[in-house]
Amino acid sequence: MTRETWVDWPSREALAGDRATRIRRLITWFVRGALLGLLVWTTLFRGGAPGWSVALGLVVIAVCAAAVVVYFRVTLEQRLWLSLGALGIVLGAGLLARGTGFDIPAEVMWCAGAILALERLPLRAAVVVTALALGAFAAVNEDPWPTTAAVTAGLALAGYALRLDAEARGNAQRLLDQERAARSAEAESAALDERARIAREIHDVLAHSLSAQLVHLEAARLLIERGGDREQILGRVVAARSMASEGLAETRQALSALRGEMTPVEDFLRELVASDGASVAVAGERRPLTAEASQTVRRVAQEALTNVRKHAKGAKVTVCLAYGEGEVTLDVRDSGGAPSEITASGAGYGLLGMRERAELLGGSLEAGPGEEGFVVRLKVPT
């Protein structure tokens, strides 16, 4: 044993009985009640005892019961001297009972004191108290010495076994509390991650749509102030309206994704490129993707096609979705073309934001010139 084993108190979880099971509490109260009943019975029905001694014995029993209650409280607070004082009252009452002829109550008090000391005190103090209590018991016990030795050793082992049992329960309770705290922290972390994901979805959809609308509406306002051509003004308003309609549709898609109501990625890509005449190819064994991975693929595809419309109008686009071992790859290529009139409008989610989104999932995004036009390649783990 280490030095700490001798000087340290049992843990608070071991000393506190408020979390014990109902059966354990019932057994504990039954044992305490049986000991108290034995003390009262042997005091009341001791033959030949004068009335004053019986009354004194009952008072002593009441004082001992109060001292035990105090002992349980002060040991829970780990106050050594008060604990020793409360336990000393019990052992002293045993001496008084022995001196007045109440042998059985005296032996019960000494044995109970020894067990309580081993169960709840630091071992260094518990060994001293137990040695005094069981020594007094062995000195007055009239059984043969082997029997007395066996009973004394059994009582000491019983007290120590109760101590080990309490420590085991205390350790189990601490582990349970730690597990609950870990689960609570994990749930809080998951909630924060979900909030961050929702924030990204809102930013990706609304920031794109609203910024594009503002650009077109601001251009329309400037044209009106300068007396611009009616067709140009109408074109800007129609473009803003189109952006608002697309933003509403994308917002609905994002809400459906947050609810887990997403269409397969392949179907989404085909719908996305339907108006551009692009082709979609799927390679590898298809399998369901996580919500985060699926949303990242969708957002990158949208951003890549938006960039094609802005910077390479009329280009031929090919989209390839490949399922690999432990990852999925999205490849969007265009053949190059002329910039459109909204090149400088600021529309789109931004490849930088898409790259950050991919890296949050442990993936990567590469974008740059290809053999003919521009290539966007996304890899995310599955």
328: which strand partners?
323, 380
Other CB atoms within 10 A of residue 136 CB: 21
Q: In this predicted structure, what is the pLDDT of residue 81? A: 92
Torsion of CA 25, 29, 31, 33, to 10 degrees: -170
Q: In this predicted structure, what is the pLDDT of residue 345? A: 41
Write down all domains in the chain, each with its CATH number in brackets. 3-142 (no CATH), 264-382 (3.30.565.10)
Torsion of CA 144, 150, 151, 157, to 10 degrees: 170
Over residues 227-254, the mean pLDDT reads 78
Q: In this predicted structure, what is the pLDDT of residue 89? A: 92
Question: How many residues are recorded in the chain?
Answer: 382
Residue scoring higher pLDDT (270 or 258): 270
The type of residue at 197 is R
In order of 145, 288, 371, the CA distances from 104 in angstroms are 18, 77, 102
pLDDT tens digits, one per residue of 303-315: 888 778 777 777 7
Percent share of the chain, pLDDT over 70: 85
Q: In this predicted structure, what is the pLDDT of residue 177? A: 84
pLDDT tens digits, one per residue of 178-200: 888 888 888 888 777 777 777 77
pLDDT tens digits, one per residue of 319-377: 999 998 888 999 998 877 655 444 444 434 467 778 888 888 889 998 888 777 788 99
Over residues 92-118, the mean pLDDT reads 86
Phi, psi of 350 (to 5 degrees): 95, 120
Determine which helix (DSSP H) or strand (DSSP E) holds 279, and give its type and residue range.
Answer: strand 279-283
Q: In this predicted structure, what is the pLDDT of residue 342? A: 42
Quick one: pLDDT band at residue 102, thresholds 50, 70, 90? confident
In order of 13, 25, 27, 38, 70, the CA distances from 33 in angstroms are 24, 12, 10, 8, 17
Percent share of the chain, pLDDT over 90: 9
Q: In this predicted structure, what is the pLDDT of residue 341? A: 45
pLDDT higher than 70, residue 147: yes
Phi, psi of 331 (to 5 degrees): -125, 120
pLDDT higher than 50, residue 281: yes
Percent helix, strand and coil across the chain, each to the nearest 5: 70, 10, 20
336 dihedral zone (left: phi>0; alpha: psi -120 to 50; beta): left
Rounded CA-CA distance 189/187 in Å is 5
Q: In this predicted structure, what is the pLDDT of residue 12? A: 80
Over residues 255-283, the mean pLDDT reads 75
Rounded CA-CA distance 184/203 in Å is 28
Q: In this predicted structure, what is the pLDDT of residue 148? A: 86
In order of 216, 228, 245, 381, the CA distances from 219 in angstroms are 5, 10, 19, 42
